[in-house]
Structure 1
Amino acid sequence: MSDPRTVTIDTIDHGLVVVDEPAWCIGHGWQINRGIGRNDITHNSVRAKSRMTTDTHGLEPLLTTNVTWAPFAELVPLVTVELDVIGDYSAEDVLTVARGLRVAASRLERVAAEAIRLREDVL
């Protein structure tokens, strides 16, 4: 029986690679049997999202962020940040956008703090 803290991925350049699986990783189903190289093996955390509702556009995504780490290509975990706001808004909706960005900033700060904590585990 395999160790529950590892995952085995068949890579195109190194064959079967056994990787330690951090507790925060959501899994590798999206990478298994995909023809990836060893340096492409990536751990990802759950995504944190922020949304807003404006009169101009209705419910819109604002931010998606998560911890990510390719252990064979990067020394420490990084943070993925996707900002999704683009468009023309009424002045009142811009106030909603600003409030949403403050919420998004607090989520970014939490994810960054987690990545810093995880980095200490790696080093």
Structure 2
Amino acid sequence: MGEILCGGKVRVINCAETHPISYTDLSDTIPPAIRSYVKWRDQDGCAIEGCRSRYRVQPHHLRERQHGGDHHPANLISLCWYHHHVAIHQRGMIIDPESPTHRRKLIWPNHSPPDTS
């Protein structure tokens, strides 16, 4: 679902009992000026610590759109295709909010890898 909302045109409406209390902007397109700024800020590459990839770098919302995240540069990070689609959307890893902007770290939601036994 997160991967669909990451790139899809979806409005999320949060409701309290019988009436809406908030909703997200329907626009799924990050404005070109914001996209360019984030790309420049992240030095045109993946912002994950140790990754030097510039392959298919794309913006990712730190606070997901489905949870009210917007297109503000502080909520966007540049990720290579692997870290965006495999590590985050397929494996469920998250960006450590305490990590510095240009050396972001990926962590498991509960801070430990899933049990594979």
Shorter-chain TM-score: what band? under 0.3
TM-score when scaled to structure 2?
0.23
Larger radius of gyration: 1
